[in-house]
């Protein structure tokens, strides 16, 4: 024993930046990251999203540039959200051949079509109705105003096929309808899109942290989505939802939001035999941006710490609005 009486000194491995980097247990890579992007029909200039400083609703032209920038940064993927000029009760623009999301998918594919450097981001599409319905819910409404689960499944199958036809490599059902993965898998396979993957929003919670996203997609929602999104008090239920999606053929599963549900994320990662994603949502982004703007926290440090914690909890894929900046910082 040393004369000081201290046998173990873990601080030795924290002594220099080089040592800390050498023994880091968790590492971020640009390929881990997915950048969510919003494109709004009819815009001639990008529109800043006030509650998400630094984020915009893209025009179709600037969307292509944003996807190209993601490729240059080595980011793993982009998740596309479309905002239509016209909405109706069934979200008919969601699967229209020339609807805004299908156009966005084709623009994204074209923006990176000539790349030969192996850094082409995966083109993902949000497979849901909420951006396209005039009532703002994620599904078709029954006569009593509730969301009709099974009628909505038919619409999801149609959305997925339209997105695959436009060139999406991954479709991402986010509506939390029972049976959505099985329905979409059957629809894709029947249409010949056997190689299109499904990223299932498996444990998606009814969260207060979605607020800024509602501005980003010009949401028309009245009320809430608590009859189909999960209760924040429940963790075992999140595991059950993930298990069901895995049994239905999900190629990847997701926990959303990320930061307040790291326990669920860890548990899903421990039992999943497919890659696990987590979505660092708009409210998580807005909180850090607001605190940093007021000088209360170090922005870069807080961003990297928050995303590293998501990776440490078990996420293989992280959707974050800071993807471009993080890729530059860790390059």
Task: Read off the pLDDT of residues 80-114 as tens digits, 9 standing for 90 and up.
Answer: 999 999 999 999 999 999 999 999 999 999 999 99
What is the C-alpha to C-alpha distance for residues 283 and 31, in angstroms, rounded to an integer? 23
CB-count exposure of residue 312 (10 Å: 0-12, 13-18, 19+): middle
pLDDT of residue 171: 98
Q: Any idea which residues carry the catalytic annotation? A: 204, 256
Is the per-residue pLDDT at 123 higher than 90? yes
Cβ pair 288, 299 in contact under 8 A: yes
The structure tokens 């444990």 sit at 203
pLDDT of residue 118: 84
Crossing angle of the two packed helices 323-330 and 299-312, in degrees rounded to 10: 90
pLDDT of residue 53: 97
Mean pLDDT over 199-217 rounds to 94
* Phi (first) and psi of residue 322, to 5 degrees: -95, 15
Q: What tokens were used for 185?
A: 């898998």
Select the more confidently predicted residue: 215 or 106. Answer: 106
pLDDT of residue 2: 62
pLDDT of residue 222: 82
pLDDT of residue 117: 87
pLDDT of residue 1: 57
Is the per-residue pLDDT at 140 higher than 70? yes
pLDDT of residue 275: 98
pLDDT of residue 223: 80
Largest CA-CA distance found in the chain, in angstroms, rounded: 80
Q: What is the pLDDT of residues 217-247, one digit of tens each?
A: 989 888 889 999 999 999 999 999 999 999 9
Q: What is the pLDDT of residues 57-76, one digit of tens each?
A: 999 999 999 999 999 999 99
Is the per-residue pLDDT at 31 higher than 60? yes
Is the per-residue pLDDT at 116 higher than 90? no
Crossing angle of the two packed helices 60-72 and 323-330, in degrees rounded to 10: 20
Q: What is the pTM of this model?
A: 0.96
What is the C-alpha to C-alpha distance for residues 104 and 84, in angstroms, rounded to an integer? 11
What is the C-alpha to C-alpha distance for residues 118 and 111, in angstroms, rounded to an integer? 14
List the domains of the chain with CATH numbers.
29-330 (3.20.20.70)
Select the more confidently predicted residue: 58 or 3. Answer: 58
CA dihedral 77, 172, 176, 143 (to 10 degrees): 130
pLDDT of residue 218: 87
């Amino acid at each position: 024993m040393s004369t000081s009486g201290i046998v173990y000194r873990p601080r030795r491995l924290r002594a220099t930046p080089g040592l800390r980097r050498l023994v880091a247990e968790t590492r971020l890579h640009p390929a881990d990251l997915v950048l969510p992007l919003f494109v709004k029909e009819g815009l001639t200039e990008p529109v800043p999203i006030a509650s998400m400083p630094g984020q915009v609703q893209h025009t179709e032209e600037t969307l292509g540039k944003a996807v190209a920038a993601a490729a240059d940064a080595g980011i793993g993927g982009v998740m596309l959200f479309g905002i239509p000029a016209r909405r109706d009760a069934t979200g008919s623009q969601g699967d229209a051949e020339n609807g805004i999301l299908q156009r966005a998918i084709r623009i994204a594919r074209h923006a990176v079509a000539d790349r030969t450097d192996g850094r082409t981001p995966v083109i993902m599409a949000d497979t849901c109705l909420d951006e396209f319905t005039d009532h703002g819910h994620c599904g078709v409404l029954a006569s009593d105003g509730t969301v009709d689960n099974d009628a909505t499944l038919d619409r999801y199958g149609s959305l997925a096929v339209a997105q695959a036809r436009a060139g999406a490599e991954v479709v991402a059902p986010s509506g939390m309808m029972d049976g959505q993965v099985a329905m979409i898998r059957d629809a894709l396979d029947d249409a010949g899109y056997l190689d299109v993957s499904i990223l299932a929003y498996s444990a998606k919670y009814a969260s207060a942290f979605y607020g800024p996203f509602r501005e980003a997609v010009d949401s028309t929602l009245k009320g809430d989505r608590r009859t189909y999104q999960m209760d924040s008090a429940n963790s075992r239920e999140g595991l059950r939802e993930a298990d069901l999606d895995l049994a239905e053929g999900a190629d990847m599963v997701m926990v959303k939001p990320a930061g307040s549900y790291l326990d669920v994320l860890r548990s899903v990662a421990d039992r999943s035999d497919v890659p696990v994603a987590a979505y660092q949502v708009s409210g998580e982004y807005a909180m850090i941006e607001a605190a940093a703007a007021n000088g209360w926290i170090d922005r870069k440090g807080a961003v990297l710490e928050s995303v590293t914690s998501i990776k440490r909890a078990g996420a293989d894929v992280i959707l974050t609005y800071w993807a471009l900046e993080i890729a530059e910082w860790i390059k």
